[in-house]
Every structure is written in C-alpha cells, then in structure tokens.
Chain A
Amino acid sequence: MQDELQEALKFIGKETPRKDAGDIVRGKANFIDDIKLSGMLHGRVLRSPYPHALIETIDVSRAEVLEGVKAVLTYENVPNWKGGLPPHVGVLDRKVRFVGDAVALIAAESEEIAEEALELIDVHYKALPAVYDTEEAMKEQAPQLYSEFPGNVFPLACPWMGPDSLQEVVIGDVEEGFAESDYVVEGTCAYDNIPNPLPIEPPGVIANWEGPEDLTVWSSTQSPYFLKVILHYAMGRINVRSIASHCGGSFGTKVAPWQLAFYAAALAKVARRPVRISYSKEEHFAAYTLRLGSRFSGKVGIKKDGTIMAVAGDWLINAGYCSDAAQGMVAVGCGEVQLMVRSPNWNIKPKLVCTNRNASKMVRGYGGQELEAAFIPVLTMALEKADIDPFDFFKQNYVKPGDGYYWRDGNWWVSRGINYEKAMQEGAKAFGWKEKWKGWLQPTSIDGNIRTGVGVGVHGNADVGEDVSEAYVRLDPDGTVLIYSCLSEHGTGQRSSVCKMVAETLKVPLERVSLAPPDSEVNPYEFGPVGSRGTYAIGAAIIRAAEDARQKLLALSAPYFNSTPEDLDTKDGFVFLKGEEDKKVSWKRGVGFDRTCLGYGRFEPDFSVPNFAMVFVEVAVDTETGKIEVKRVLTATDVGKIIDPQSLQNQLHGCLGSAGLDTAIYEESVLDTKTGRILNSNMIDFKWRTFLELPVFDSVTLETPVQTHRFQSVGVGEIMTSPAPPAVLMAVSNAIGKRFNRYPLTPDIVLEALGKCQKTEVRSRK
C-alpha cells in the first residue's frame, strides 16, 4: 500500500516551481513596504538616549505645529494597551528601559516631515542606573525595571502553553545520579552574544481603523491569524482583521509584531487615517528582536561507558527589557534539552531576567538553541573525561521512539517518531567523521599555521506538532480548488507545498490549486508556520479539509452514478466509478454549476513526533591570525517524506542563516555597557555570511515514513540552526587544543587562547 502510494505521487517529492516564483523574480511579490493605502501617513518613533530613565517633562508643542504632522503621541495620551508576557509593556511609558525605547510617536504626511518633527520634541529625563548583566540584575541593590517584577525576575508561567507549562527540568534525584557516576564535571558557558536574527526586510505594519472597534492591520507577519488573536487581547478585545504581505524573512521574529501594530494603530486612531510604521535597519538592529542571552552553570555526571547519570545546573536567561513570550522559549528549551540527551536524573532551574537592553523575542531555535549552546560545552567536558566520541554519544543518547520527555505543556510524552540513528550514521559516513575525529582537543590535520578540527551537534524538537491549525478547502465546479489557510509566505515555500499536498489528495493538476490570500477575515484559525509545524500541523489540517471536501463531492455525485460515495473516486476534475475510469463526470455535472464543496480540517496539538537533525562541521583555524574558516558543513536528518526537494534543501542551508551557525564565529550584538548602546547597529559591523565564505555544504536526508498524515512527512527547517554553534565551538577547540566557554570566537578570543596576545579585558556582557 505504502509503495503504491509513493509510486502514484505526482507532485509530492517532485521539483515543482514555487507558486510565487514568477512574482519573486519579476520583483512583483508585494512585501510590506510595497503596499500603499490612499491617504496613508508615515509614523516614526522618538527613541530614548538613556538605558534607564524617567521622563520628567516632554514638550511636543513645536512638533505638533509643523506642517504635515497629523498625530503626536506621548505616554500621556496613548491608549492603555499592553503587550508582553505577562502583559507589562504599554504603547509608551513614562519610564524608558533601554537605549532606543520609544519615547514619542509621530505620524506625518511624509517620512521626512515625521523625522523633522522628532527633532522638535523636547524631553527632559531623569537618568536612572542601568543593569545589563543577568547576575547583576538579580542582586538586591540592582536597579529595578518594573515594580511588578521584583528582583528583575519574570514569572515563568506561560498560560497559552497550558496551566502546567514547563518551567524547569526536574526528574529523579541528581545527587544519587552523581554518586553513581564515574566522573562528575562542573563548568559554565555563556551563549549571550545576543545575535540579531535580522531578516533582510525590516519589520513593518500598516494600521487603519474601519470603525471605533474595528482595526485592520497589514504586516509582514509570519502568522497573520495569531497576530489577530494577540492584538485582540492586548488592545482591549477589539475586532482585528490581520492581513499579511509577502514576508521578507522572519525566522520567528515577525510572528507577532504587536509593538509596531500598537504604534501604527495608536497614531491612526488620532490621525483618522491609515498609518505605516516601517522600521529602519538601524531600528531593526537596536529596537526590535535579539536572541535570548543564555548562561549555563552546572554539573554533569557520566559513567565510563558514556551513560549520563545526572545533569544539574542554573540556566540564566537574559530577556532584555521585556519578555515577549520568552517563557515559551524557556519551556521549549527545557523540553528540547531532554530530547538531545537522555538522563535519568535532571535538575535544571531557569531564571528569566530583565535588563536594560533591547528585548530578546521569538527566534528560531526557540529556547533550545540557547540552552544547548551553553550546556553542550559543559556536557562535552564529561565526554572528554570519559573519552567518548561525541558522535557516538549523540547518536546513542538522543530520544528514540518509545522514550519519553516532559514537553512544554508540562506533560510526559512518549516519542512515536522516527529512529534517526540511520540518518546520523549515514551522515557520519558521508562526512568521514571516523577518519577526521582524532579525540578530544586533537586537530584533524596540521599544515603549518593552519589546523583543522571537526565538531558535531544534535538537536530535536517536538513542536512540529504544536498548536492548532484549521483550514477549508473549496472545490469549485469548474475543477479548481481553493485552499483557505491563514498562511503567509515567509520563504519556506509552504504556501506552495500545501498546494502540492492538496493536488495530490484530490488528484488534480497543481496549477488548479491555489490559496486564498493570508487574511484573517477570509481564513479560519491558523497559528502559523513556526517550529517546523508547517509540514505536519498545517499540512494535516489542509489535507483533512481536502479529504472532507472530497467526501462531500463524492456524496453529491453519487446519485448521478446511482452508486455510493465509497465506490467513487475523483481525478483531474472528474468523478468516476472505481475500476471504470471511463465512466466519469465532471465536477460541474456531478454537483451542479451552482454548488461548491467546502471541506473543513483541524489539527490538534501533538507533541509525540520529535524531529532531529545532526550537523557536522569542519573548520580551519589560522593559528597566527586567529581566523576561523568553516570549511565544510553536513546536515543529517530524516523527513519521513520529502514534499518539495528544493524548498527542503533551502531549509537545510538555513543552518548557515539567521542567528544559526555563525553565532559561533561572527554574530553578536555589541552592547556598550558604558552607554547602553548597541554599537554595531549596521550591516558592516554586524557580521553575516557572504557568497565568498560559503563552505562545502552536503546533506544526508532520509525518508523513513513517520506517522503524521497522509504523506508521512515531518518538517525540519527550524532545527537546522541549533546543532551548529556548539559543533563549531567543538571543532575549533579540537583544531587548536583549547576549550572555550563563550561565543562568538572572534580572532581576539582565539589568539588569546593560543597565548598569542595579552588577555583582553573581559568584555562586559549583557
């Protein structure tokens, strides 16, 4: 049966051009800045020069009278909307909490006028002491950011993940575990370089009030329906229509741009005209989204044979000035660390702390990358002690089908996913791991001043089945199919991939299947394509809707054949009697020219199908200059069934992209702790990978059917970044024989480790 299904597939697994390909290469794809509404005003934000201050006086009178200015808002006259978790960030506040925090908003006829008006606002601040470091922030005498979060610590509850959302990893008895261990290591590592995910398109939102309680927002969001829900609750239960443009990259950061929506909507309300807020790249750098800062300090107990007996430690998380569902990342991180390595005893205690810098918000890797990048360098100290090959260890110790884990909802789940050992094994073989691995802190090769080394990482995620998706599929009598799913295109090709699933399910030509625009007024509930849930969760809802519509079509056509729906099938827009394909009737004849068949599908959360990816890296280190070159990257995973080979490959390459592999050597936001400013808010000083630094990139991708939906497929896009940073750290350590416990490994750090330059002053960190 399985073979038959695979045999018969016409689109799934085949290369088919993306539906929007023509638009993209013509420059016709409409991103948020390409949308222009009649009468639209341009909003700009006045930003704080202080990392922490109270606004003593603010005078906007000069700005208000500038010709072309249509609205000016300060903390004194903004609506009482609140974002964050728990809700704590208003539209504007009398207190500013980071350099770049919003002080005033202006809407004007042009961007130039709005900018000119910003210069006319006079503000007097009372500067307050600021704190950037998590440990400092928790001290008794530390400056307090919010009266409701004493000690600068956020509560960890995450209600939208359920009443018992995961807030720690506590299993068994770690003291017993350590006692049974042959080696116990203790260490600390910081992954607190707070890289910026930095999609190329800066975030933007347009807001327009259709009525006092009716708001329409256009945005480049990755999750238009979810944004509607967030705004509905944050803005006093108003009715929100949310429309997505083409999304110029998100990586999680554009799931919920509620803050821009607040600004645009507040200004639009006063101006009674549509208002656009488009961040500049500088604002994108310094006032939008960073990755969480993460530090792990703790102990790992291991037996000589490589069995982990206990893991215990503190996980310090720096959220910046606000928590935008960082609790969700803590919960998922606590789940993912258990997927990566099995241990009978755990005690990891997270602390989520606010500091006076730009906020860390949703980013791919979502907690797990942050925890694991800091935890793995400590874990590998144990592997080094026991002299265990990290590849063997990861392959042996990740969660296998039948194994269990606490997931983000606080429940114990048992994996019914794929066994990834084969993919890992084949990956290692293709990479040549066994030949290249020479032992801990041993280089693979030495050629004069160039030393090479290898590293490996693994990451798993059970969120591929998170949250709810709904969809309708409408069969039109003319033989075309329309999918209603509030799914925006953010680069994964998901809008095209779901068309393939539907075309395959209904056996119609791919060009006859299309998607309704990503508009919450048109489509049912959709959480959005996050956490690699597009293939499984969104796919399942849409397939179910297609199957439901098909059933309706067959039932309606049955009288024509004087038969039952069970005896009928459909193909190419015709209904026919099974086994007698020539006895067919067009959909139009079958159901009537004046009838459409509407199917409904819903997906309920399922955390039992974790996906995994292993990433192998080889680096070359110039021991004279400290320069690190990533020579080769190989990803190994299993996707059940490939839906679209090109989109999949593109997703795998994402390993090198947004705040992924390069957080190990390039990416960081340089926060100046004297002034609170992010110094590298530009695309020269923030380092990204160019065409001239491309490593050889290979992938081993297996197709072992997984119990998800009709096509037995599972997404892997999100998990490609997370294994990479600690793998690079490991590879560099092996190349030059020195351990590291921080990221990124810039040349100063490498040369210092090699004793080639004086110890640099410890960079004061966030």
Chain B
Amino acid sequence: MKSLQHVNVYTVEEAVNTLREFQGEAMVIAGGTDITGVLKDKLLPDYPKALVNIKTIPALSYIKEESSGIKIGSLATLSELSKSPLLQGQYKVLAKAACNVATPQIRNMGTIGGNLGQDTRCWYYRYPHSLGGRIMCLRKGNGPCLAVAGDNRYHSVFGGQGCFASCPSDTAVALLALNAEVKVTGKWGTRTIPVQEFFHPRGNSLKKVELIQEIQMPYLAEKTRGCFLKYTLRKPVDFAIVSVAVLVAMEEGVCSEARIVLGAVAPGPLRAKKAEDFLKGKLIDATVLEEAGHLAVSGAKPLSMNSYKVEIARTLVVRALTDCAFD
C-alpha cells in the first residue's frame, strides 16, 4: 500500500478541520475494512494525501436510548450492534442486519458509519489496478458503465442513472425500514439526512469534508414486528445478492402499517411503496402477501443477466412479511 499522511483526531470538530486542511484530498478511516482495500487496490485515479483516523474520537462509540428513540454513534461496531440489548423488538432488524455482515473479524472492526458509507462492490469498479490497470467508469468520473453490456449478475435491477452498481450496505436496508436519519457534520455544521436521501445513484451524499456522526432511529408503534433477510450464496463473507427488511404493524390480523425495503437491487436501499400501500388496512393472508411480493418488484428493470434477482427479491419480501404477520 502506498504511503500517505495519517492523522489521528480526537473530536468531531478536529476531524472536520483536518479534512478541510487537506481540501478534500483526505479520506476518513474508521474500521478500515473497506477503505484499506480501496487503497491497496488503487481503485480510484486520485490517491488520497491523507487518512484522518476518527477511531480516536471517544465520543462516537455508543448505542443509547433517548426519549426520541435510539441513537448510535458512527463508531459503534457491527459486533456491538449485533449484541446490543437496546436493539430489541423492531430494532432487532438492525441487529440482524449487522450480524449478517461479512465475517466475525470484519464485524469486530467495521462500524455502522463505515457500513453506510462503504463503496460499491461492482466488480468493474473494484477491478484491482495491479492487473493491467483500474477500469474507469462513470462512477469514477470517466467512461461508461461496463456492467450494462457486461456481466451484471449482481447489479441493479431497478435501473441506475448511468451507473448500475447496487448498494452493498446491509444496515442501510434495516435503517431505512426503521425510518432512521443520518447525522452528518461538516464545515458548515451539522445536518440530518433521512437514510432514503443519504444514498444517491453514484454513491452517497457525504461531502469530502463531512463525516457521519450519528444514526438516529425514532420510536415506532408498539405492535410493529420486523424481519431482515439476506440472500447470499454463502452465509458469511458474501455481500447480499438481495436483502429485505420489513416492518409490519398488525392489529387483529389487519395490517395497519408496513415498511418494506429492498437491498442490493438498486443504487441505494429501496422502499417498496406500492406494496406498503397495498398492505395498509388489509386483512393479511397468504394471497395478500403474494400480491405484496409482486407489487414490491413491480417496477423492476433487470439488466441482461440479473432478472433472477427480481424473483429472489419477490420471494424474500413474501417470506419476510409472512414471518412478521404470522410469527
């Protein structure tokens, strides 16, 4: 790995100031499980001048309960989320998503901030520079998306704006279902972004001098049940081919509220609004859930090799809803 400057910071303010000093040519490192690979493979044409290590900020490691809901510091590790006693009830979907990430070692190192902010796994984008040079593409600022005419088995099935990479984050799927917001701090101060808006077609809305400070989850209705499912070829190691997080509030067999989120099928986590609206007020039975599954994927536009992901997404939605409705 090529040398670069390395700065430990101890407060969020110091982090932002340091990022400013490097004028956008520094990157934030926390768990390091994604960025270290990005740097080793020299994926990006511009190698950063510096790494700003935020693991040294003690105030960012927490999972706490407040009157408004649960707040998670961006340095909380995926292991901590998996085991947190505060992530009970519907919040369990987040714990489940966290414990489905990668491997035990990665979960010990990786943070929730990093899991949200990680770069895509598109294999054209990730092609290592040492094997004949990196592949340039739209996401890297120059060139077409090679996945469209290439091997797109893992790519978006819900379109893309020129880039068809899918969002690899498992926690993002659960967090969107939980209606979470991301608190971000930068040189202009702090802003709070709904998870939905955090992701955009070629990455996320983090600016170069910003870092994720906290994740905030509001309280949900008492009777909400949740389910997170991740479809992979293998239980550990793999990124999702499709993931689904579902929250359903039921009263006497009738769905009063549903939130259905699909992961790894689009540039960001995707709410299945049609299916959600359809379920609201319905007496739940298998037929209704089947229909919800169809509606959840109704807008899909698969590429040449990945229509199977649509079928898997449909199945996962039905299974997750069934789990919530009849458990």
Residues of chain A touching chain B, judged by Cβ–Cβ distance below 8 Å, are: 47-50, 99-100, 112, 115-116, 280, 282-283, 286-287, 624-627, 666, 670, 672, 674-675, 677-685, 687, 689-693, 746-748, 751-752, 756-758, 760-761, 763
State how many angstroms separate the Cβ of B103 from the closest Cβ of chain A: 9
The stretch of B219-227, B259-267, B272-280, B305-313 that contacts the partner chain: B305-313
**A280-B130, A283-B130, A760-B305 as given contacts; A670 in contact with B123, CB under 8 Å:** yes
Across the interface, which residues of A come within 8 angstroms of B151, CB to CB? 670, 672, 679, 763
CA A627 to CA B316, docked complex, whole Å: 12
**A679-B123, A687-B233, A758-B307 as given contacts; A282 in contact with B128, CB under 8 Å:** yes
Q: Mark B272-293, 1 if CB is under 8 A from A, else 0.
A: 0000000000000000000000
The stretch of B18-26, B205-213, B237-245 that contacts the partner chain: B237-245
Flag if B127 contacts A690 (CB, 8 Å). Answer: no
Contact of B234 among A47, A115, A675, A692 (CB under 8 A): A692
State how many angstroms separate the Cβ of A23 from the closest Cβ of chain B: 24
CA A680 to CA B311, docked complex, whole Å: 24
Flag if B131 contacts A100 (CB, 8 Å). Answer: yes
CA A693 to CA B235, docked complex, whole Å: 7
Flag if A115 contacts B305 (CB, 8 Å). Answer: no
Contact of B233 among A47, A99, A112, A666 (CB under 8 A): A666
**A684-B239, A747-B308, A763-B151 as given contacts; A625 in contact with B130, CB under 8 Å:** no
Across the interface, which residues of B come within 8 angstroms of A679, CB to CB? 123-124, 127, 150-151
Flag if B312 contacts A625 (CB, 8 Å). Answer: yes
CA A49 to CA B308, docked complex, whole Å: 32
State how many angstroms separate the Cβ of B54 from the closest Cβ of chain A: 25
Across the interface, which residues of B come within 8 angstroms of A672, CB to CB? 124, 146, 150-151
State how many angstroms separate the Cβ of B225 from the closest Cβ of chain A: 22
Flag if B236 contacts A685 (CB, 8 Å). Answer: no
Flag if A760 contacts B41 (CB, 8 Å). Answer: no
State how many angstroms separate the Cβ of B323 from the closest Cβ of chain A: 14
Across the interface, which residues of A come within 8 angstroms of B231, CB to CB? 625, 627
Across the interface, which residues of B come within 8 angstroms of A115, CB to CB? 2, 130
CA A690 to CA B126, docked complex, whole Å: 23
Flag if B127 contacts A677 (CB, 8 Å). Answer: yes
CA A647 to CA B69, docked complex, whole Å: 56
State how many angstroms separate the Cβ of B129 from the closest Cβ of chain A: 9
CA A756 to CA B127, docked complex, whole Å: 31
Flag if B127 contacts A684 (CB, 8 Å). Answer: no
Flag if A681 contacts B310 (CB, 8 Å). Answer: no
CA A674 to CA B305, docked complex, whole Å: 15
Across the interface, which residues of B come within 8 angstroms of A685, CB to CB? 121, 123
State how many angstroms separate the Cβ of A30 from the closest Cβ of chain B: 25
Flag if A677 contacts B241 (CB, 8 Å). Answer: no
Across the interface, which residues of B come within 8 angstroms of A692, CB to CB? 234-236
**A672-B150, A680-B123, A682-B126 as given contacts; A760 in contact with B304, CB under 8 Å:** yes
> For the complex, is B141 an interface residue (Cβ under 8 Å from A)?
no
- 26 of the cross-chain contacts (CB-CB < 8 Å) are A48-B132, A49-B133, A50-B132, A99-B131, A99-B132, A100-B131, A116-B2, A280-B130, A282-B128, A287-B131, A626-B312, A670-B151, A674-B146, A677-B131, A677-B132, A679-B151, A684-B121, A684-B239, A687-B234, A690-B234, A692-B236, A747-B241, A751-B311, A752-B308, A757-B308, A757-B311
Q: Mark B295-327, 1 if CB is under 8 A from A, else 0.
A: 000000010111110111001100000000000
CA A313 to CA B122, docked complex, whole Å: 40
Chain B residue nearest to A752 in the complex (CB)? B308
> For the complex, is B52 an interface residue (Cβ under 8 Å from A)?
no
Contact of A684 among B135, B150, B237, B304 (CB under 8 A): B237
CA A747 to CA B239, docked complex, whole Å: 15
State how many angstroms separate the Cβ of A642 from the closest Cβ of chain B: 33
Flag if A760 contacts B133 (CB, 8 Å). Answer: no
**A626-B312, A687-B233 as given contacts; A675 in contact with B146, CB under 8 Å:** yes
Across the interface, which residues of A come within 8 angstroms of B238, CB to CB? 684, 687
Contact of B307 among A99, A674, A760 (CB under 8 A): A760
> For the complex, is B294 an interface residue (Cβ under 8 Å from A)?
no
Across the interface, which residues of A come within 8 angstroms of B241, CB to CB? 747
CA A95 to CA B193, docked complex, whole Å: 53
Chain B residue nearest to A44 in the complex (CB)? B130
**Besides A677-B131, A687-B233, A692-B235, 5 other CB < 8 A contacts?**
A670-B151, A679-B151, A680-B123, A690-B235, A690-B236
> For the complex, is B105 an interface residue (Cβ under 8 Å from A)?
no
Across the interface, which residues of A come within 8 angstroms of B237, CB to CB? 683-684, 690
State how many angstroms separate the Cβ of B91 from the closest Cβ of chain A: 25
Across the interface, which residues of B come within 8 angstroms of A757, CB to CB? 307-308, 310-311
State how many angstroms separate the Cβ of B131 from the closest Cβ of chain A: 5
Shortest beta-carbon contacts, A-B, top 6: A49-B132, A748-B308, A761-B304, A679-B123, A692-B235, A624-B315
